[in-house]
């Protein structure tokens, strides 16, 4: 009876979904703490160190503080859209995370159209920002919302083109296949063994370096992080699209932003850094294909890479000034999109000419 | 939806043709206006509305993160471009000048701190120099040298902070905190010298509060040793940053002619090529003994103002070095005790000093410049030329003190600079001007 229930595919599916949602929600407060400590370290400060051991409970205190704040809906705000906006930021970000393979055969929802689903759902986030800016009946918010929608739509093009290059390389839009394909070449580039560095040379970051850089830049813009945080830009627009938001509505915006950052980093790991592949160690072969240890170790490897990328995001945020609006558009439309189109053309050419190191053709 | 979205009409003082309002319409109707006439009235209103709906009036301030004080900028924007800009000042008007008419010359020193709270020492010194010039007294050499050292330290603190805030307004938050940390070294010295950090009230007419503590020289030498590498670090962080350069280069350009005609002074004027520095051109406190250069830039944009401040910090360090090397010993207060207080120990032990102390402290026997005497005296504050125009009526309180605050003159050109630029440029320009609201509104 119990065995029937726990092996029921629907139950397993629900369990997985709850696990991933729960995990992501638990990671965000940790991420906020992580960010604050790193920011303090960069800025020669101490950072939060009062609540709990080393200040680790600070996020809890922050959440409690936010929950008890007065929830203000400004006069003249469009009430329903105003309430909907934070959810529209948060929901797509966490939905997109469901298709990310965080370990061997471990994802909340596995289906073949992984990347298409991710890009589709991910681009819904812009509605949240635009609605939030528009519905709060505040000029700063309106400009913030406008900037957000223009920026996210512009950079989505470059991001999508970079992803297509990877898809052409992998010959698949299934994220699991893309990960497997990155280590199946034996970790070598051009078939070369380079001083023992060949463990990770088949990762897409080496096969598609240009696409990786474009993807990285565009993902900063997509998540509205510095140097692309024009939509919130506290120096000019006070708080941008979330100027009027307070209490848990603001917390949801905040959560959405961090989940989006998490999703983008996870996607970057999956597409370019070999997913849960460990260089010089074939985990499934050593630990057994379907063993629980294989899955746990692969999740650990993935988390390690993810942590590095998140650190990178935070590092950049506390080091750079932000762009001006026209410079942002210039970079997006005149530099990144032509470059990614060129890269796409080159990849297609490689496919036709049969450059095996770039695209391991199955035929 | 809010029907007013997009065509909000904040009061525009420059609105040229008044729109036909409901009242006009009623008036027209009562006059028996025909349909054709009314149609034309409506049409004008509609066209005006349509034109206006492209524009948005946006307030930057009086409470806004970018203004660093209570300034109000009213921008009319079209998309991201600022079409019209106007400024409103006076939110921090405190009546410092009026206060002077009711306070004695010594008492008013404390008020000068509150004007520019980021470089209070320079204000103290500027005021003290003005009254001393009015009285025709010269302070002892040790006092002069100490005033120079402290002024330059304060100038460094102010410039470092300004550079940090400039970076912060462009998004580089870390640089601001680094700058705050560097400024802390300056404030430690200031605190050791006078006990306060921001509102120092350090100078007296005819001298300074008290001699510096014994470890002063060590502290200053330590600062001179530690500060240059940190300064270089901030400079390296910003000058090699492509985004920072793109944001400030070619933004808010003021040419030399314009700078002169708008009365820009200090680092802002010199960044536009106005070769003026009160310390060199009209030396006070023996600035002519020190060997320093007046750096100058020619491009006149926000980038030049940033470089100018960074260069001036180096010159200030140089002046401090020279002043420390030649720091004389001796009294720090003018020896004529008709104007300055004798030492406390002397007051307790010496009849003469006790009388002086009593007469100075009790009203009616303090500093009294002769009737009708007036002076305009200017010093070089971190923001520019800081002038005091002091008129005496022969009593204990001045008849009138007029301040020439550098920020007031520097800020006047600001709305002309931002027009035609983008919203983000306004922040890049405002932060490079380093407007202190307390000084601006007095």
Predicted confidence at residue B33, as pLDDT, reads: 65
pTM check: above 0.80: yes
Residue that wins the pLDDT comparison between A188 and B103: B103
Query: How large is the average pLDDT for residues A255-278?
Result: 86
Give pLDDT tens digits for B357-374. 888 887 666 788 888 888
Flag whether pLDDT at B94 surpasses 80: yes
- In degrees, to the nearest 5, what angle opens at C-alpha A331 toward C-alphas A330 and A335? 100
- Structure tokens, B286: 């023996």
Which is more confidently placed, A118 or A226? Answer: A118
B171/A227 CB distance under 8 A: yes
Q: Provide the pLDDT confidence category of residue A338 given band limits of 50, 70 and 90.
A: very high
Which residues neighbour A119 within 8 Å (Cβ) at sequence distance 6 or greater? A156, A159, A160, A163
| CA dist., res. A274 & res. A178, Å (int) | 8
Token pair, residue B305, equals 């103002």
Nearest residue in chain B measured CA to CA from A231: B424
Residue A147 near residue A230 (C-beta atoms within 8 A)? yes
Q: Show the tokens assigned to A240.
A: 């941008």
CB contact under 8 A, A45 and B177: yes
Contact criterion met (CB < 8 Å) for A321 and B65: no
Q: Which has more confidence, B391 or A110?
A: B391
* A208/B358 Cα distance (integer angstroms): 85
Beta-carbon count within 10 A of B187 CB: 17
Give the 3-state secondary structure of A221-286.
Answer: HHCCCCCCCCCCCHHHHCCHHHCCCCHHHHHHHHHHHHHHHHHHHHHHHHHHCCCCCECCECHHHH
* Average pLDDT value for residue range A72-90: 85
* DSSP code, position A288: -
Q: Residue A105, SS3?
A: coil
B396: tokens are: 């204990």
> Which position has the token pair 């965000």?
A28
Q: Do B174 and A319 touch (CB under 8 A)?
A: yes
- Which residues of chain B lie closer than 8 angstroms to A240, CB-CB? none
Question: Given this model, what pLDDT does residue B250 score?
Answer: 85
| Residue A235 to residue B172, Cβ atoms within 8 A | no
Residue of A nearest to B76 (CA): A139
Question: At residue A20, does pLDDT exceed 50?
Answer: yes
Contact residues, chain B, for A321 at CB < 8 Å: 167, 170-172, 241, 243-244, 247
For B217-256, the pLDDT digits (tens) are 898 999 998 888 888 888 888 888 888 888 888 888 888 8
Q: Does residue B3 register a pLDDT over 70? A: no
Going by their DSSP bridges, the two strands B81-88 and B203-204 should be labelled as: unpaired
Which residues of chain B approach chain A closer than 8 Å at the C-beta?
1-2, 4-5, 8, 56, 58, 60, 64-66, 77, 80, 167-174, 177-178, 181, 241, 243-244, 246-247, 422-427
State the pLDDT confidence band at A300, using cuts at 50, 70 and 90: confident
- Within 10 A of B349 (CB to CB), how many other CB atoms are there? 10
Nearest residue to A147 (alpha-carbon basis) of A57, A83, A242: A242
pLDDT score of B409 more than 70: yes
Q: Is A112 on the interface with B (CB under 8 A)?
A: no
CB nearest A137 (choices: B2, B65, B425): B2
User: Please, are residues B135 and B367 in contact by the beta-carbon 8 Å criterion?
Assistant: yes
Q: Name the most confidently modeled range: A119-123, B40-44, B223-227, B364-368.
A: B223-227
- A224-261 burial code (b ≥16 CB/10 A, e <16): bbbbbbbbbbbbbbbbbbbbbbbebbbbbbbbbbbbbb
CA distance B438 to chain A (A): 21
Which range has the worst mean pLDDT, A2-6, A243-247, B322-326? A2-6
Strand partners, B389: B376, B402
pLDDT for A188 beyond 80? no
SS (H, E, C) chain B: CCCCCCCCCCCCCCCCCCCCCHHHHHHHHHCCCCHHHHHHHHHHHHHHHHHHHCCEEEEECCCCCCCCCCCEEEEEEECCEEEEEEEECCCCCCCHHHHHCCCCCCCCHHHHHHHCCCCHHHHHHHHHHHHHHHHCCCCCHHHHHHHHHHHHHHHHHHHHHHHHHHHHHCCCHHHHHHHHHHHHHHHHHHHHHHCCCCCCCCEECCEECCCCCCCHHHHHHHHHHHHHHHHHHHHHHHHCCHHHHHHHCCCCCCCHHHHHHCCCCHHHHHHCCCCCCHHHHCCCCCHHHCCCCCCCCCCCCHHHHHHHHHHHHHHHHHHHHHHHHCCCCCCCECCCCCCCCCCHHHHHHCHHHHHHHHHHHCCCCCCCCCCCCEEEEEEEECCEEEEEEEEECCCCCEEEEEEECHHHHHHCCHHHHHCCCEHHHHHHHHHHHCCCHHHHHC
Q: Is the pLDDT assigned to residue A361 strictly greater than 70?
A: no
**Does the CB of A233 have a partner CB in chain B at under 8 Å?**
yes
Whole-angstrom Cα distance, residue B48 to residue A105? 63
Whether the per-residue pLDDT at B381 is higher than 60: the answer is yes
pLDDT of A362 above 60:
no
Is A51 an 8 Å CB contact of chain B? no
Q: CB B241 to CB A321 under 8 A?
A: yes
CATH classification (class only), B104-408: mainly alpha
Q: Does A66 touch chain B (CB under 8 A)?
A: no
In angstroms, the Cα distances linking B371 to B104, B131, B134, B165, B377 are 15, 14, 11, 45, 18
**Residue B127: pLDDT over 70:** yes
Q: Are A246 and A239 in contact (CB under 8 A)?
A: no
Give which of B61, B164, B243, B246 to mutate to test A binding, by max A Cβ within 10 Å.
Answer: B243
Does A326 sit within 8 Å of B172, measured CB to CB? no
The pLDDT mean for chain B works out to: 83
Domain ranges of chain A: 1-68, 77-353
Instruction: Tell me if A76 and B2 make a contact (CB, 8 A cut-off).
Output: yes
pLDDT of residue B35: 66
pLDDT digits (tens, 9 = 90+) for B177-213: 888 888 888 999 999 998 888 888 888 888 888 888 8
User: Choosing among B76, B174, B234, which should be mutated to test the A contact, i.e. which has the most A CBs within 10 A?
Assistant: B174
* Residue B201: closest CA among B258, B128, B137: B128
| Domain range annotation of chain B | 104-408
Number of A to B CB contacts under 8 A, please give it. 85
pLDDT, residue B106, reads 84
The percent of residues above 90 in pLDDT, for chain B, comes to 9
| B374-379 contact pairs (CB < 8 A, 24+) | B374/B134, B375/B130, B375/B133, B375/B134, B377/B126, B377/B129, B377/B130, B377/B133, B377/B134, B377/B284, B378/B126, B378/B278, B378/B282, B378/B404, B379/B122, B379/B125, B379/B126, B379/B129, B379/B278, B379/B279, B379/B284
Give the per-residue pLDDT at B389: 92
If we measure between CA atoms, which residue out of B292, B291, B312, B308 comes closest to residue B300? B308
A81 touches chain B (CB under 8 A): no
- Statement: residue A8 has pLDDT above 60: yes
**Hey, are the CB atoms on B4 and A324 less than 8 Å from each other?**
no
CB contact, 8 Å: A327 with chain B? yes
Tokens at B258, concatenated: 């314009």
């Amino acid at each position: 009876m119990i065995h029937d229930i726990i092996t029921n595919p629907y139950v397993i599916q629900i369990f997985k979904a709850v696990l991933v949602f729960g995990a992501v929600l638990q990671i965000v407060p940790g991420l906020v703490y992580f960010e604050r400590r790193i920011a303090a370290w960069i800025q020669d400060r101490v950072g939060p160190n009062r609540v709990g051991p080393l200040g680790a409970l600070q996020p809890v205190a922050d959440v409690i503080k936010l929950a008890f704040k007065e929830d203000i809906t400004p006069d003249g705000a469009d009430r329903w859209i105003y309430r909907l906006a934070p959810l529209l930021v948060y929901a797509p970000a966490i939905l997109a995370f469901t298709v990310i393979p965080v370990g061997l055969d471990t994802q909340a929802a596995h289906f073949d159209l992984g990347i298409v689903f991710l890009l589709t759902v991910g681009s819904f986030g812009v509605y949240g920002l635009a609605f939030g800016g528009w519905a709060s009946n505040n000029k700063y918010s309106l400009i913030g919302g406008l900037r957000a929608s223009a920026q996210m739509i512009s950079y989505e093009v470059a991001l999508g083109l970079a992803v297509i290059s990877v898809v052409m390389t992998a010959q698949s839009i299934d994220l699991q296949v893309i990960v497997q394909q990155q280590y199946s070449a034996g970790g070598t580039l051009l078939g070369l063994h380079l001083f023992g560095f060949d463990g990770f040379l088949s990762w897409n970051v080496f096969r598609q370096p240009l696409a990786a850089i474009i993807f990285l830049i565009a993902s900063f813009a997509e998540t509205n992080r510095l140097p692309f945080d024009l939509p919130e830009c506290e120096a000019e627009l006070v708080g941008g699209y979330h100027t009027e938001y307070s209490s848990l509505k603001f917390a949801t915006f905040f959560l959405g932003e961090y989940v989006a950052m998490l999703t983008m980093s996870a996607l970057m790991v999956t597409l370019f850094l070999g997913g849960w592949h460990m260089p010089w160690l074939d985990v499934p072969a050593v630990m057994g294909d379907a063993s629980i240890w294989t899955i746990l170790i692969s999740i650990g490897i993935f988390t390690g890479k993810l942590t590095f990328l998140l650190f990178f995001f935070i590092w950049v945020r506390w080091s750079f000034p932000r762009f001006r609006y026209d410079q942002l558009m210039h970079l997006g439309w005149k530099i990144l999109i032509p470059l990614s189109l060129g890269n796409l053309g080159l990849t297609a050419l490689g496919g036709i000419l049969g450059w095996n190191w770039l695209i391991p053709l199955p035929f | 939806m809010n029907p007013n979205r997009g065509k909000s009409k904040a009061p525009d003082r420059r609105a040229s043709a008044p729109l036909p309002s409901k009242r006009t319409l009623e008036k027209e109707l009562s006059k028996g206006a025909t349909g054709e006439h009314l149609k034309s009235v409506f049409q004008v209103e509609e066209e005006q509305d349509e034109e206006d709906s492209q524009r948005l009036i946006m307030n930057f301030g009086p409470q806004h993160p970018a203004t660093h004080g209570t300034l109000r900028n009213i921008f009319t924007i079209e998309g991201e471009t600022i079409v019209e800009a106007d400024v409103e000042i006076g939110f921090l008007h405190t009546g410092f000048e009026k206060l002077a008419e009711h306070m004695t010359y010594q008492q008013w020193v404390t008020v000068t701190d509150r004007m520019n709270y980021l470089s209070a020492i320079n204000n103290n010194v500027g005021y003290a120099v003005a009254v001393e010039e009015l009285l025709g007294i010269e302070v002892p050499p040790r006092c002069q040298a100490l005033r120079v050292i402290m002024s330059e330290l304060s100038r460094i603190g102010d410039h470092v902070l300004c550079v940090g805030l400039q970076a912060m307004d462009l998004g580089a938050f870390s640089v601001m905190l680094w700058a705050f940390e560097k400024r802390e070294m300056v404030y430690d010295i200031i605190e050791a010298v006078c006990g306060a950090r921001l509102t120092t009230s350090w100078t007296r007419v005819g001298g300074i509060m008290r001699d510096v503590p014994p470890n002063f020289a060590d502290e200053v030498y330590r600062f001179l040793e530690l500060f240059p590498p940190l300064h270089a670090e901030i400079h390296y962080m910003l000058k090699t940053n492509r985004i920072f350069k793109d944001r400030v280069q070619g933004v808010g350009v003021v040419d030399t002619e314009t700078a002169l005609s708008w009365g820009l002074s200090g680092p802002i004027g010199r960044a536009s090529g106005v070769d003026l520095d009160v310390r060199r051109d009209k030396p006070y406190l023996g600035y002519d003994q020190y060997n320093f250069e007046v750096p100058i830039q020619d491009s006149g944009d926000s980038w030049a103002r940033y470089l100018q401040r960074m260069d001036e910090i180096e010159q200030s360090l140089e002046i401090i070095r020279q002043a420390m090397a030649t720091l004389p010993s001796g009294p720090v207060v003018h020896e004529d005790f008709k104007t300055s207080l004798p030492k406390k120990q002397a007051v307790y032990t010496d009849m003469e000093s006790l009388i002086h102390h009593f007469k100075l402290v009790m009203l009616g026997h303090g500093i009294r410049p002769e009737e009708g005497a007036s002076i305009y005296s200017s010093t070089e504050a971190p923001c520019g030329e800081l002038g005091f125009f002091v008129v005496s009526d022969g009593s204990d309180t001045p008849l009138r003190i007029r301040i020439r605050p550098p920020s007031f003159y520097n800020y006047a050109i600001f709305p002309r600079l931002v027009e035609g630029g983008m919203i983000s440029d306004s922040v890049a320009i405002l932060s490079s001007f380093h407007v202190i609201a307390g000084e601006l509104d007095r």
